[in-house]
Amino acid sequence: MKSFLVDQDGYYGEFGGAFVPEILHRCVEELRLRYLAVMESAEFRQEYDRLLRDYVGRPSPLYYARRMAEKYGCRLYLKREDLNHTGAHKINNTIGQILIARRMGKRRVIAETGAGQHGVATATVCALMDMECVVYMGRTDVERQHVNVEKMRMLGATVVPVTSGNMTLKDATNEAIRDWCCHPDDTYYIIGSTVGPHPYPDMVARLQSVISEEIKRQLLEHEGRDFPDYLVACVGGGSNAAGTIYHYVDDERVRIVLAEAGGKGVETGMTAATIQLGRMGIIHGAKTYVIQDNDGQIEEPYSISAGLDYPGIGPMHANLAARRRATVLPINDDEALAAAHELTRMEGIIPALESAHALGALKKMTFAPDDVVVLTVSGRGDKDMERYLNSD
Ligand SMILES: *Cc1c(COP(=O)(O)O)cnc(C)c1O
C-alpha cells in the first residue's frame, strides 16, 4: 500500500508540491535540503524535547472524559493541547521552526496571522530566542483581535497591518511572501499550519507529530493497546489533525474523522468547508483543494472560528479525503457552539471554537461501546469568550 505520508517529490498523491515565484525558489530549496538533517540531529532533538517538556508543559494529558463517554456510548479520551503554553497546539510547531531557523543562520523571523494565534505563538518563541520578529496581519483582523495584537507587541514583535484586498489572512500571507522575496538571505518564514510549498506541510506535520507519539504511549498505559478505533480532530490548514494522526495514518485499524468549518451551512456561501466545495487549484504555493469561483479566483471563506476560516486545506488532508482514508464532516457554527457549551458543562473544560468543531462531529458518528475514541482539544476557549457569552 502507498503511504499517506509525503513522497520523495513533496507530494501526497496528486496534492502538494512547491509552486513558488522564481525569486523564492532558492529559499524553499535551501529549507528542503536542510530540514530533515536538522530535525533528525541528536542536538536538535535534545533542545526541542527539553523545550517541549519544560516550556510548553508536555506531555499534554490524555484525559478519559467519563461523562461525555457515557453520553456518546464509547471510550472517549481527550488529548489536551489546550493545556500547552499559549493555549493551543501551535507552539509545538513554532518552537521547532525557530530552532531550525537558528541552525540555518537566520536572524529575522516573519509570519502571517489571521486571528493572531499563530502570530502570538511566533512572537513568543522569538522573545524566547531573542530573534527579530515581524508579523503581517490584515487590518480588519488587527481591529477584530486587539488583545492578540497587544500581546505580540508586548512580546517585542512588530505587527504590520495589511491594507490590500479584504485585509484578512490571505492578504497578510501575500505580504509575508513579498517580505521574504525582499530578504531571502537573513529571513526565515514560519508558516503556522500544514500548508504552503513543500517542505512546509511535511515539516509542520513532523513537528506536531509529538501529539500522536504521546497518544501511543498514553493509550498503552490506559487501554493496554497503543492504537484507538477512532481519531477525531478539526481542520483549518490541518496541523493539529496532522499531529494527531501522524503515527497512525498508514494503520488501517484506526479510523480518521476530520471536522471542517461548515460556517452557516455548506450551501449558504458562508462557509469554509473546503472538502465539500473546493476544487483543485494552487494556494500558498501548494496544489490542493481550494474554494474558488468559476474564474479560479479564491473565494473569501467564512467560519465563526478564525482558526478554521481558510479557503484551502493542507495537501496531506486533501489526499486523505480523496482516497477516502479520512471521513471529513462539515460542522456548522451553531453545532460547534452547542458542542462547546456541552463540553464546558459536562467536563468543566472550555474549548477553543476550532476544537468545538471536532466535538460537534461526535453527534454525527455512531460507536460500539468498546470503541476507543481519541479527540484532540486543539486549544482553550479564553480567546472565544465573547462569542460564547453572546450564544448562551
Ligand atoms: C489555528 C488553530 C486551529 C486550526 O489550525 P490547524 O492547522 O488546522 O490545526 C485549530 N485549533 C486552534 C485552537 C487553533 O488555534
Burial (Cβ within 10 Å: 0-12, 13-18, ≥19) of residue 37: exposed
Mean of pLDDT values over 379-391: 93
Mean of pLDDT values over 192-207: 97
277 & 350 share domain: yes
Q: What are phi and psi of 279, to 5 degrees?
A: -125, 160
Specify the pTM.
Answer: 0.97
169 & 245 share domain: no
* 81 pLDDT more than 70: yes
191 & 142 share domain: yes
122 & 76 share domain: no
Question: 3-state secondary structure string, the chain?
Answer: CCCCCCCCCCEECCEECCCCCHHHHHHHHHHHHHHHHHHHCHHHHHHHHHHHHHHHCCCCCEEECHHHHHHHCCEEEEEEHHHCHHHECHHHHHHHHHHHHHHCCCCEEEEEECCCHHHHHHHHHHHHHCCEEEEEEEHHHHHHCHHHHHHHHHCCCEEEEECCCCCCHHHHHHHHHHHHHHCCCCEEECCCCCCCCCCHHHHHHHHHCHHHHHHHHHHHHHHCCCCCCEEEEECCCCHHHHHHHHHHCCCCCCEEEEEEEEECCHHHCCCCCHHHHCEEEEECCEEEEECECCCCCECCCCCCCHHHCCCECCHHHHHHHHCCCEEEEEEEHHHHHHHHHHHHHHHCCCECHHHHHHHHHHHHCCCCCCCEEEEEECEECHHHHHHHHCCC
137: domain CATH number?
3.40.50.1100
Residue 186 in domain: yes
Grid cell at residue 208: 506536531
198 & 307 share domain: no
pLDDT attached to residue 392: 66
159 & 308 share domain: no
Grid cell at residue 84: 500547552
Task: Mention every residue, 6+ apart, whose C-beta is less than 8 A from residue 47.
Answer: 99
Domain hosting 199: range is 12-50+90-203
pLDDT attached to residue 241: 98
CA distance linking residue 269 with residue 277, whole number of Å: 10
pLDDT digits (tens, 9 = 90+) for 344-382: 999 999 999 999 999 999 999 999 999 999 999 999 999
pLDDT attached to residue 315: 98
The answer to whether residue 164 is catalytic is: no
165 & 278 share domain: no
CB 3 within 8 A of CB 250: yes
Residue 120 in domain: yes
Task: List the residue whose alpha carbon is closest to atom 10 of ligand 1.
Answer: 354
270 & 379 share domain: yes
228 & 328 share domain: yes
Residue 379 in domain: yes
Closest CA relative to residue 304, chosen from 265, 278, 276, 342: 265
Prior bond of 199 cis (ω within 30°): yes
Nearest atom in ligand 1 to the alpha carbon of residue 118 is 1
Task: List the residue whose alpha carbon is closest to atom 1 of ligand 1.
Answer: 307
Buried b (16+ CB within 10 A) or exposed e, 272-289: bbbbbbbeebbbbbbbbb
pLDDT digits (tens, 9 = 90+) for 283-335: 999 999 999 999 988 888 988 988 888 889 999 999 999 999 999 999 999 99
pLDDT attached to residue 273: 94
254 & 292 share domain: yes
pLDDT attached to residue 98: 98
146 & 217 share domain: no
Question: Pick from 173, 203, 233: which residue ends a domain?
Answer: 203
194 & 214 share domain: no
The answer to whether residue 239 is catalytic is: no
CA 377 to ligand 1 center in whole angstroms: 10
Task: List the residue whose alpha carbon is closest to atom 2 of ligand 1.
Answer: 307
The answer to whether residue 213 is catalytic is: no
pLDDT digits (tens, 9 = 90+) for 141-156: 898 889 999 999 999 9
Average pLDDT, the chain: 96
Task: List the residue whose alpha carbon is closest to atom 3 of ligand 1.
Answer: 307
CA 224 to ligand 1 center in whole angstroms: 30
Question: Pick from 142, 169, 203: which residue ends a domain?
Answer: 203
Ligand 1: residues with CB < 6 A are 88, 90, 117, 193, 234-240, 307-308, 352, 354-355, 378-379
Question: Pick from 203, 232, 259: which residue ends a domain?
Answer: 203
